[in-house]
Amino acid sequence: MNPLPFLVVFFTVSCARTPLGGNGDAKTSYSYVDESGTFTLSRETKLVGSKLVTRAQLLDKKSGGRLLEKSVMLSQIGSIRNGSQRLLIVRPQASEYTVWIEGKKYVSRMQLVPGKRAMRMTLESPEPKWQGTSEVPVPKAKYLCFFGQLPECLARSNLLENARLIEGRRFDFLLVWDSFPYVQDLLTKTGQKLFDRAAIKFDGEINGLFRYIVEVEEQVISYQFTKSYELVKVAWISQGITIAPPGQEIVEDE
């Protein structure tokens, strides 16, 4: 089955309006703040069989909800053998990311190549350097997650629970930049690669929320979840990005 048509079919049906988290269908909105202003981030997730699908849209509230970015990610939920045990995993399968930069449209599509340990990437943009199709080898790793699907991937891989139970231990995983290569223009110091080694660790309980630290490319991203692992807040201080429920703020000394 070609995953990309599946993404289109999925979003012709409605998603349940339940809290965003690792355990159910979800649709919710956040306040997204960066150095250029305040925007609306809409995220929705649905589990169809063993397939996890997530869609995100970044909207400009000041211009009547103009679409600035959108992405769709499809991953396969399964398990792998680890000695005498089996580990729950979430395997990125396909994604489509679109961003408008200075009024011009940039698109990045990715799809795992069947029978090969490679991700096929197709770029469409007004710039020659970001056009065409290529295949990028996938590094070996037990856990892999799309960046835009990180909360759901970490929850369903049991990494959030394991990190909480073994406080202080770092759990390694492979991060897939679904916004690659345009993320290099949108953010700073995010590297020049489609895949990056990353790690997550539990950082304690703050005001009834579980806080986790994700480290990637020598940067730190703070995620806060409810005790049922529903995403509440994100703080990426080095990029000047915060994500929180509308009307709430993230204080640095929380």
The 10 Å Cβ neighbour count of residue 67 is 14
CA triplet 137, 170, 216: central angle to 5 degrees?
A: 50
With bands split at pLDDT 50, 70 and 90, how would you rate the model's confidence at 189? confident
pLDDT for 161 beyond 90: yes
How far apart (Å, rounded) are the C-alpha atoms in residues 177 and 114? 20
pLDDT of residue 124: 98
How far apart (Å, rounded) are the C-alpha atoms in residues 138 and 29? 32
pLDDT for 50 beyond 50: yes
pLDDT of residue 24: 60
Residue from 192, 173, 215, 195 nearest 117 by CA: 195
Note the pLDDT tens digit of each residue in 224-247.
999 999 999 999 999 999 999 987
In this structure, the dihedral spanned by the alpha carbons of residues 166, 168, 174 and 176, taken in order and rounded to 10 degrees, is: 110
Could you list the residue range(s) of the whole structural domain that residue 105 is in?
Answer: 3-244
In a domain, residue 41? The reply is: yes
Helix (H, G, I), strand (E, B) or coil at 150: helix
In a domain, residue 253? The reply is: no
In a domain, residue 250? The reply is: no
Average pLDDT over residues 41-57: 95
Mean pLDDT of the chain: 87
- For the full predicted model, state whether its pTM sits above 0.75: yes
Q: Residue 96 is encoded by which pair of tokens?
A: 């489509």
* Biggest alpha carbon–alpha carbon distance for the chain: 56
In a domain, residue 249? The reply is: no
pLDDT of residue 84: 81
In a domain, residue 12? The reply is: yes
In a domain, residue 59? The reply is: yes
Domain count, the chain: 1
Is the distance from CB of 214 to CB of 6 less than 8 angstroms? no
Average pLDDT over residues 104-126: 96
With bands split at pLDDT 50, 70 and 90, how would you rate the model's confidence at 20? very low
pLDDT for 8 beyond 90: no
In a domain, residue 54? The reply is: yes
In a domain, residue 251? The reply is: no
pLDDT of residue 231: 95
How far apart (Å, rounded) are the C-alpha atoms in residues 68 and 31? 14
